[in-house]
Structure 1
Amino acid sequence: MQKIPITVVSGFLGSGKTSLLNRLLRATPTTEAEQGALDGTLVLMNELGAIGLDHRRSLAVTDTVVLLESGCLCCAVRGELVQALRQAFMDALHKKIPAFSRVLIETTGIADPAAVMYTLKYEPFLAERYRYAGCITVVDGCFGAMQLEQHREAVQQAVLADVLVISKTDLTDTDSLAELEVSLGRINPMAVRFQADHVPVLAELLHTANSTVEAPGRLKLAPLWTRGALRSASMHHGGVGVLTLSWSTPLQRSRFVAAVSALQELEHPYLLRLKGSVWFQNAIEAVLVHGVHKHLYPLDLPAPSAGDTSRSSFLVVITRDGPLAAPLEIFQRLLPGAHLAVSPEGNFVDS
């Protein structure tokens, strides 16, 4: 039986993984191979936070999108991911869902892609039916250099990549991009690198990742640069705090901006990611909120509501080694009515 290839889409918090997937999956195919890649792809998404956001931006792309429950993929990989892949295979076999010929797994921003590699090799049911076909890691063109310096997870994701995609190149100067390219070349010399505006179509990108992972000597050489790149910090992402807040009524825009500004000043450099869907007063639809470190992106992108008229808002705040009580106090003070949403795993993720 021919095994189904699985490609991991990785990248640190806010790097642009979902944006890349959206672009690839929505691209108009020009060949039969490109059409086949789109038609036969199952997408599994995993998010950090009690409320999923990123899947709202991609559910319209394909019917075969599965959102795994809140939590870190490398923690849940033996349970939820295994069950999702097992169920998808059986559902396709019994024609409950369209047949699929490949799987894309988008991990959380702090997940270790090695967890997927390990599971596919040692979980019997999956090992007989699926195979690891490489890792595509998205690196933030604006903050990637800093993240590689400060976060072991970012280095691990770059080290295990078969393809590296540098995002946000239009927001970064040429010299900074060149320095980032040098750093990535030193960390992972065997990965194929693309800038986001020059990424090939999905079929070609998946083929490149698969070809790289199967390159002679790659597995033998990998430990040689991995040892140098991963020289500090602990393997697991202890100390990552996840605060999920929701509001049942529309928010005042100026007070929301003030709260976010206060949070960024207070938590820098501990603030890793800010994301959510916010319905402002006097607005006709919600907008997406997307921030990385101290940078908050424009609040003008409509959030796909899928007919949602609840006028509710939610926000996920992800921090490193910073107390969660402080950001909670800011939002409760400036935006009264905040409800603390607790995921099954809890709002604090630690080893």
Structure 2
Amino acid sequence: MRVIPITVLTGFLGSGKTTLLNQLMKNTENENVVIIVNEYGDVGIDHALVLTNNQEQIFQMNNGCMCCVLREDLIDMFLAILQVAEKGPAAIDRIIIETSGLAEPSPIAQTIIRTPLLNEHFVVDSLITLVDAKNGFYQLEQYPEAIEQVAFADKIFLTKTDLADAQQIKSIKKELIKINPFVDIETLDLEAVAYQDIVGLDLFDRSIAGAKKAKTDIDHMMNNFTENRHQHKTYHIHDHPHEGPIHEAHHHIHTAVDSFVITCPTPLSEAQVISWLRMLISQYGMDLMRYKGILWIDGLQYQVVLQGVHMAYKLEEGQQWAQVAETKIVLIGKNLPQKEITEWLLHGHPKNISDRK
């Protein structure tokens, strides 16, 4: 059985996820699609809101926010889909997951990456985040979940732009770039969106393309970072509510989101990379939000593709080096010390990194 790609739709309450899902289901490009709807609380989503036909199946989890359910629940759900795929009359071409508006999408990616049986049969296609252009400022300021949805995104779509003026749209884009300076941000017309605009983008780690496009993806992210660098600063969430747009905090800091790039023009040893990854996991754990890159490993003629979410990561063989080899890694996380993390990878254990609590 071939690998089944998973597109994850996330975004805060009211950002338009269900409207988007309904629009996508009007034309699935003749694919057999499994829809997974996760609704916060005990009452499931109204089935009338999710369009379906005889070739689509709806898996619905009513036991709470997806980011809060037990990992075993996610595993069981995916295993059930595998059984349907193996015994069903038609192959399952794709899965689309609509998360709760109060969820962050990392448990889905972590579960697939860390579970051997699942990562043989499933791959995350893309994490797509919708942001309400009109109410995005308030949501980012008041709810850490909204910020995490942005930080984890492979692509961000601004919705409800018809309700916001040009300055509001410009300002919310600027705030999103502060959180995730690597990501592409586009506006989305929920009434005119096409299936291929959202599905099959293969942005998470380019696994569907066999990692052949991973270097292009990393280079594009780094170009975004360079272009946005003048706007990007450590992003702070205030720990108390107040009116107006989010400000760059100089006090009352609750959480900080950091984004940075590591490059190295010389080969790294395999032991060096493994030691560094173990350090990242042990020292920063759940504060690691997203990290991905192309690694130049000494003695190997091909790229090594790194993809990580929190404490789950994978390394896989990429394409042959066609140009000048170079290690390039992008990282997004909370309170990540760029200097120490970079020094560890390039030169070994920095003395002060063990001071982290």
TM-score (norm 1): 0.57
List structure 1 runs of 4+ shifted beyond 4 angstroms: 211-214, 217-222, 224-227, 230-235
Any conservation in 1 of the 2:127–2:204 contact (CA below 8 Å)?
no
Provide the residue aligned with 1:145 in structure 2. Answer: 137
| Unmatched runs of 5 consecutive residues or more in structure 2 | 207-213, 240-253, 256-357
2:41 is the counterpart of 1:49: yes
Q: How does 1:17-32 map to 2 (within 5 A)?
A: 17-27=17-27
In the alignment, is the contact (CA less than 8 A) between 1:52 and 1:70 conserved in 2? no
Name the structure where helix makes up a greater proportion of residues: 1
Q: Distance in 1 between matches of 2:80 and 2:232?
A: 34
Distance 1:211 1:82, change over 3 A: closer
Preserved contact between residue 68 and residue 80 of structure 1 (Cα < 8 Å): no
Deviations 1:283-308 (A, max 9, x none): xxxxxxxxxxxxxxxxxxxxxxxxxx
Per-residue deviation, residues 165-197 of structure 1 (Å, max 9, x unmatched): 111112222211111111112222222222121
Could you tell me which of 177, 200, 219 is aligned with 1:207?
Answer: 200
Equivalent residue number for residue 335 of structure 1:
none
2:200 counterpart SS class: helix
Q: CA–CA distance in 1 between the matches of 2:65 and 2:119?
A: 22
Equivalent position to 2:114, from 109, 117, 122:
122
C-alpha separation between the residues in 1 aligned to 2:104 and 2:62?
A: 17
Residue 59 (structure 2) aligns with: 66
Distance in 2 of aligned mates of 1:143 and 1:94: 45
Instruction: Report the CA distance shift for 1:94/1:164 in structure 2 as closer, same or farther (over 3 A).
Output: same
Other structure's SS at 1:73 match: coil
Separation in 2, partners of 1:123, 1:169: 39
Task: Give the total of aligned pairs.
Answer: 225
1:184 to 176, 185, 194: 176
Q: TM-score, normalised by structure 2?
A: 0.56
What residue in structure 1 maps to residue 149 of structure 2? 157
Contact kept in structure 2, 1:77 and 1:116, CA below 8 Å: no
Shift in alpha-carbon separation, 1:201–1:230, aligned structure 2, 3 A: farther
Map 1:311-326 → 2, pairs under 5 A: none
Compare the two structures and name the one with the higher strand fraction: 2
Which amino acid is 2:69 matched to? Answer: A
Q: How far off is 1:81 after superposition?
A: 2.2
**Counterparts of 1:8-19 in structure 2 under 5 Å?**
8-19=8-19
Higher relative contact order (CA 8 A, sep 6+): 1
Please state how far the C-alpha of 1:227 moved relative to its aligned partner.
9.9
Cα deviation 1:121-142 (Å, max 9, x = unaligned): 1122211111122200011122
8 Å CA contact retained: 1:147, 1:154: yes
**How many Å separate the matches in 1 of 2:140 and 2:120?**
36
Partner Cα separation in structure 1 for residue 220 and residue 114 of structure 2: 20
C-alpha RMSD of matched pairs (Å): 3.1
2:78 aligns with 85
Q: Relative to 1, partners in 2 of residues 1:162 and 1:14: Cα closer, same or farther, differing over 3 Å?
A: same
Q: Distance in 1 between matches of 2:39 and 2:232?
A: 26
Which residue in 1 is equivalent to 2:234?
228
Partner amino acid for 1:8?
Answer: V
Unaligned 5+ residue runs, structure 1? 28-33, 236-351
Q: 1:216 aligns with which of 215, 218, 227?
A: 218
In structure 2, relative to structure 1, the CA distance for the partners of 1:63 and 1:2 (3 Å cut) is closer
